[in-house]
Amino acid sequence: MIITYYGDQFVKISQGDTVIAINPPSKESGRSPSRFGSGLVLSTTAHPLYNGYETVTYGENVPFVIDGPGEYEHSGVVVRGKGTTTEIEGTEYQTTVYTLTLEDITIGFMGPVSGTIPSALLEILGSADILFVPVGGEGVLEPATAYKLAVSLAPKIIIPMDYGKGRNKEALKVFLKEAGASDAETLEKLTIRRKEIDQKDGDVIVLQEN
CB atoms within 10 A of CB 157: 22
Identify residue 78 by its one-letter amino acid code. Answer: V
Reported as a single tens digit per residue, the pLDDT across 87-144 is 888 899 999 999 999 999 999 999 998 877 888 888 899 999 999 999 976 667 889 8
What is each CA distance from 129 to 104, 115, 192, in whole angstroms?
10, 24, 12
Nearest partner of 200 among 135, 131, 144, judged by Cα = 131
Report whether 131 contacts 117 (CB < 8 A): no
The alpha-carbon radius of gyration of the chain (Å, integer) is 16
CB of 163 closer than 8 Å to CB of 138: no
Q: Output the tens digit of pLDDT for each of the chain's 210 residues.
A: 999 999 999 999 999 999 999 999 999 998 888 889 999 999 999 999 999 999 999 887 899 999 999 999 999 999 999 999 988 888 999 999 999 999 999 999 999 988 778 888 888 999 999 999 999 766 678 898 899 999 999 999 999 999 855 456 688 999 999 999 998 889 999 999 999 999 999 999 999 998
CATH class of the structural domain 2-204: alpha beta
**Residue 32 pLDDT:** 84
Distance CA 95, CA 86 (A): 7
HEC sequence for the chain: CEEEECCCCCEEEEECCEEEEECCCCHHHCCCCCCCCCCEEECCECCCCCCCHHHHCECCECCEEECCCEEEEECCEEEEEEEEEEEECCEEEEEEEEEEEECCEEEEECCCCCCCCCHHHHHHHCCCCEEEEECCCCCCCCHHHHHHHHHHCCCCEEEEECCCCCCCHHHHHHHHHHHCCCCCCEECCEECCHHHHCCCCCEECEECEC
The span from the CA of 113 to the CA of 50, in Å, is: 13
